A and B are shown apart, each in its own frame.
Chain A
Amino acid sequence: MVKKRMTLSLIALISSVFLFVLASFAWLAVSEIVNIGGNTVDVVDLNVEAVLEVSDDGETYVPATNIEFTNATPGTIKYYRLNLTNVGNIDCYTKVTLQNFVDDVNDPSTTYDDTKSLRDVIVVNTSNTVNSETIVDHTLTELLPEIPSGDYSSASMYLVTSIYLGTDTGVDDTATLYFTFTVSGTAGNDYQNLELSIERLMVASATP
């Protein structure tokens, strides 16, 4: 008896899910819009393209596949910009985060101070072409949540929390996030030979 009820329930569940999915993907209709009981269900395509570029002077940018700021000296600035384009068919909000920070050493065979972290002397600045959200002269340590254990391998911080991207061709559907990393001029020789790896620069979008 129980077995029979379970089987019937399962069949009913699968059927309802399939109906819902079929309706959503418009497998039951040729058009992109499906009318079921007077309700309109749009099939959305949420898709934001992100192109990363890097510059040494803030003027001439070249394509980059990741953040690579090596053999820096105090005062050195690296300029990045992230060109975002909404190529989907729905407006969306996009956020950009840096995730998973791990302290390391550039060359273990030479001297370094493992009590120091580049998080304390890497200064971040950001701005974007869509809204007034900025980060002005904050170190990574100031931007990251405080973690008593000192293990930042799962920590993340926003470069920007929200950029609205429309779907109209032109200004509305594009945005540029500018961000720079500066090795603080106050960083002394204590920070020599240190390295900071950031596992991921993530661009994520969601519908309004």
Chain B
Amino acid sequence: MRFRIKAITTSAILLILASLAMLGITYGWIAFGTNFTTNIINVGDLRYSETGAFIADDTVIVPGDELVATAFSLDNQSPITSQLRLKITYTRITNIEGVVTPEEDHVYKGDTDEHLAVTFDSVFTFTDGDATPGEYDDNYWYYISADEVIPATSGTIALFSELYYDGDKTSIDYNGQLVSVTVTVEVKQADNVTWSELATYDFSTGYPAA
């Protein structure tokens, strides 16, 4: 008996709800909407891998010795467009009024008095694309140009295969000195973002043989 009352009550409630739903639809109180489903927003990422190496650290060198053991290159598999630049700094030793003066982290700009010789395997331009001197981004070599946009998944980008102290430019002042070379590679998404470091390659000579 109790079960029957419960069943009848439940049926009545369901019936009332169904009726109200039908009335709601009939009178436009309730409307079925249109749905567009599976909406996705995502941001691409930079996918570069690097190859290349300097000769072993602590190697004793003389001017003209090749410092690149394996040519440096990048493989771009980014799903988005990107930009690439690199900075080369080295120890530059000069003689100022009889005093041997090492300058650490001298930026390689490709000037005629550079003590370092670099052979790029792609077009790199030493410019930041503007005329304001003394800015931080003035010190970089930009792949192709400062405005160059590298297409997505563009594949291999050769960087440089030769880098050495030029015997025609260096002097006896380098004798017995420790020198180092650093190459910093930076990439970024093509629009509106700051550069971020992709890789840094260092090379330092060993203490010269006695």
Contact = CB atoms under 8 A, between A and B. Distances in A.
A46 B8 CA distance: 34
B193 A189 contact: yes
Contacts of A6: 5, 8
Count chain A CB atoms within 10 A of each CB in B26, B27, B188 and give the residue with the most: B26
> Chain A at the B interface: mostly helix, strand, loop or mixed?
mixed
Interface in B11-36: 11-12, 15-16, 19, 22-23, 26-31, 33-36
A142 to B, nearest CB: 16
B40 A92 contact: no
Interface in A98-156: 98, 104, 106-107, 110-112, 118, 122
A67 B39 contact: yes
A194 to B, nearest CB: 5
B43 A72 contact: yes
B48 to A, nearest CB: 11
A195 to B, nearest CB: 4
B189 interface: yes
Contact of B4 (A3, A73, A192): A3
A62 interface: no
Count chain A CB atoms within 10 A of each CB in B4, B22, B29, B42 and give the residue with the most: B42
Interface of B: 1, 4-5, 8, 11-12, 15-16, 19, 22-23, 26-31, 33-47, 79-81, 152, 188-194, 196
5 contacts: A7-B8, A67-B40, A187-B192, A188-B193, A207-B31
